[in-house]
Chains A and B, each alone.
Chain A
Amino acid sequence: MAERGFSVSRLPGFSTVAVMVFVALYLPIAMLVVFSFNSGTSVAIWEGVSLRWYVSAWANEQVKEATFRSLIIASAASIVATTVATMAALGTTRRKAFKGQTLIYVMINQPLMVPEIVTAVALLIFFATIKVATGYQGLGYLIAAHSAFCIPFAYLPIRARLEGMDYTLETAAADLYATPWQTFRRVTLPLLMPGVIAGMMLSFVTSLDDVVITLFVKSAGQDTLPTYMLAQIRRSVTSEVNAISTVLLGLTVVMLTVFFLLTRKKD
């Protein structure tokens, strides 16, 4: 039904601006995706549909390595972050106020507050010292750094889930002589699972997207997909970057959709 007459919540021009914002938000991304299928080299002149950039990205050894590395780091970091964040959420939620509570909150949320470039520089100095002292140059540094900044992204959905959970089920389990561990394993954890998976997905996406911290922490030859792309954008750009971006975009959209389905309130 069309809106008629005077609506109190209507403000002149607001709808027009909103529609323009949505268009402006999606147009650049849409163009990037469209031109990843261009058969020509231009990002402005359409020459026909082709998968050549996907084929060339797939055949590119550096891209393969960077993708593999990104996936290893994101998997390891999201597992570490989700595990410690689940424990921390259990420790800090549904509990009487205790000494140092605020300190724990501030520390967990620290990666959200401190500018990435500052953390990146701090880690550069710190890890450079360790690298010299121990001689270890592996992926461990990147995994540690990613785990740390993923913790708040894992913690928040798990905590939200815990807060909305029905306490009585756990009390019932305890009444039926379940040990605390049995109660956790059989009652709390299954109920908490959607939050845990949601947290893991957000950390995975966050790790996969990181540029700045990775750029400063990585040793030579440890490019991840984003740092590889950054280097490519700086040089002569080929539409290969468009193809890689499109695949990453697709992955993000799939993960977010799953996340929303998991955390949707059923009411």
Chain B
Amino acid sequence: MSEVQKQADRKNARNAWALSAPALLVLTVAAVGPLLIILIYSFLLPGKYGNVEWGFSFDAWRGILVSKDIFDGTYKLADAHLTIFWRSVKLSLLTTVFTFVVGFPTAWFIATRPPRWRAALLFLITIPFWTNLLIRTFAINQIIRNEGLFNTAMIQLGLIDQPIVIIYTDFAVFLGMTYVYLPLMVLPLFAAIDRFDMRLLEAGYDLYASRMQVLRRIIVPIVKPGIIAGSILVFIPSLGAYVTPRILGGGRNMMIGNFIELQFGAGRNWPLGAALSMTLLIIVMVALLVYVRFANRDGGHG
């Protein structure tokens, strides 16, 4: 490489960084930087009235899995924490699977319409995606509440005499998350199906494949990048969900997000809250890395 070329490259990089600097500054102050602070806080001791006391300790990290008995000082598994973790993972997985089960036919349906219809239907999926999550969760709340639309209608039709209790159960949280995160599954699935060459189906049928075989052996393998993208996009926000479990799960059916908040409020254990936040962040990062590896491998024929 010539000296002139090298100089040009250096100038190029300098300009790029200079122009990006203001954005990076805002992000460092109000997004990336503070993450380092929680990392530090997760190794400190809890203060009596919230905040922390300065002193290095692994207590918070250990506290995620085990709790110390206040009477005899022995350690045992923290059942309550594990229950919350298990509920979060279970509900997030269920949400991911169910959004896929109903999202795939929807994406397929949109992708196989004539172009003008397609744009309109896509717009219909996009509107809820941009609509306030709180409003959408609240809409579900109004339907499934004891005195809500569903129970009132069922009672008036004479099908039940007592309202069916749906709200403040795990099922309500699952229902709400499926509702609010469905567009995140449909959109990447649509993008993948839209590029799918329908002639491959003709070839399949010509070779006497059944519908099920065509679906399993041709469609699913080719749109796999879309399936993975959609699953990641649904799984990650589900796992960190805060608003939906708070409004539909009530106080007892907490997920990790609500449990983290609790440590900074009534729980008064900031280091534990910080350690839980880091754990959530690590799980999300692992999921993203898995996604990047899959995406790179399958990207060639997407």
The reply to whether B143 and A21 contact each other, CB–CB distance below 8 Å, is: no
Cβ–Cβ contact B38 & A11, under 8 A: no
Which residues of B (208-262) have their CB < 8 Å from a CB of A? 211, 215, 236-237, 239-240, 242-243, 246-247, 256-257, 260-261
Please state if A226 and B132 are interface contacts (CB–CB under 8 Å). Answer: yes
Nearest chain A CB to B281 CB, angstrom units? 5
CB distance from A15 to the nearest CB of B (A): 6
Contact A91 B32 (CB under 8 A): no
A98 neighbours in B (Cβ, 8 Å)? 9, 12-13, 16
The 27 listed contacts between A and B (C-beta, < 8 Å) are A10-B112, A13-B105, A17-B102, A18-B106, A18-B108, A24-B179, A32-B135, A44-B149, A45-B152, A88-B23, A90-B19, A92-B19, A113-B236, A115-B281, A118-B240, A147-B26, A148-B31, A202-B130, A211-B133, A211-B134, A216-B261, A226-B134, A230-B246, A233-B247, A245-B132, A252-B127, A256-B130
Q: Considering only CB atoms, which chain B residue lies closest to A42 in the complex?
A: B147
Closest-by-CB residue of B relative to A31 is: B149
A245 touches B135 (CB 8 A): yes
* B109 lies within 8 A of chain A by Cβ: yes
B26 touches A148 (CB 8 A): yes
Contacts of A42 in B (CB 8 A): 147, 152
CA distance A216 to B260 in the complex (A): 12
B128 touches A29 (CB 8 A): yes
B20 touches A92 (CB 8 A): yes
Question: Are A14 and B109 interface neighbours, CB within 8 A?
Answer: yes
B142/A28 in contact, CB under 8 A: yes
A182 to B17, CA, bound (A): 22
Which residues of chain B have C-beta atoms less than 8 A from A117's C-beta?
240, 242, 256-257, 260-261, 277, 280
Knowing A24-B179, A91-B20, the reply to whether A209 touches B277 (Cβ < 8 A) is no
Q: B123 near A: Cβ within 8 Å?
A: yes
Q: How far apart are B7's CB and chain A's nearest CB, in angstroms? A: 13
- In the assembled complex, the CB of B188 is this many whole angstroms from the nearest CB of chain A, namely 14
Cβ–Cβ contact A11 & B108, under 8 A: yes
* Given contacts A8-B202, A121-B274, A121-B277, A29 and B139 within 8 Å (CB-CB): yes
Please classify the interface of chain A as helix (H, G, I), strand (E, B), loop, or mixed, using the class held by over half of its residues. Answer: helix
A125 shortest CB reach to chain B, Å: 5
Q: Across the interface, which residues of A come within 8 angstroms of B257, CB to CB?
A: 115, 117, 212
- Which residues from chain A contact B74 at a C-beta distance below 8 Å? none
The reply to whether the CB of B61 lies closer than 8 angstroms to some CB of chain A is no
**Contact of B13 with A100 in the complex, beta carbons under 8 Å:** yes
Contact (A111, B182) CB under 8 Å given A28-B139, A98-B9, A252-B132: no
Extra pairs beyond A91-B19, A117-B280 (4, CB < 8 Å): A15-B105, A32-B135, A44-B153, A117-B256
Contact A125-B19, Cβ < 8 Å, known A117-B277, A248-B132: no
- Is B84's beta carbon under 8 Å from chain A? no
A237 to B145, CA, bound (A): 11
For the complex, count residues of B whose C-beta is within 8 A of A. 94
Q: Which of A18, A88, A147, A229 is close to B30, meaning CB atoms less than 8 Å apart?
A: A147
Which B167-202 residues have C-beta < 8 A from chain A? Answer: 179, 182, 186, 198, 201-202
Contacts of B158 in A (CB 8 A): none
Residues of chain B within 8 A of A31, CB atoms compared: 139, 142-143, 149
Alpha-carbon separation in the docked complex, A147 to B27 (Å): 8
- A residues contacting the other copy or chain, number (CB 8 A): 91
Q: Verify if B37 is at the interface (C-beta below 8 Å from A).
A: yes
Residues in B with CB closer than 8 Å to A95 are 12, 15-16
The proximity string for B residues 264-277 relative to A, scoring 1 for CB distances below 8 Å and 0 otherwise, is 10000010011001
Q: Could you tell me if A25 and B17 are in contact, using CB atoms closer than 8 angstroms?
A: no
Is A178's beta carbon under 8 Å from chain B?
A: no
Given the contacts A91-B15, A122-B38, A256-B126, A28 and B134 also touching, CB distance less than 8 Å? no
A28 to B142, CA, bound (A): 8
Q: How far is the CA of A54 from the CA of B122 in the complex (A)?
A: 31
Is there a chain B Cβ closer than 8 Å to A12's Cβ? yes
CA distance A233 to B242 in the complex (A): 15
CA distance A242 to B148 in the complex (A): 14
Contact A104 B130 (CB under 8 A): no
Tell me the residues in window 1-35 of chain A with beta carbons closer than 8 Å to chain B beta carbons: 8-15, 17-22, 24-29, 31-32, 35
Known: A12-B211, A91-B16. A25 touches B128 (CB 8 A): yes
Tell me, in angstroms, the Cα distance from A44 to B141 when the chains sit together.
Answer: 12
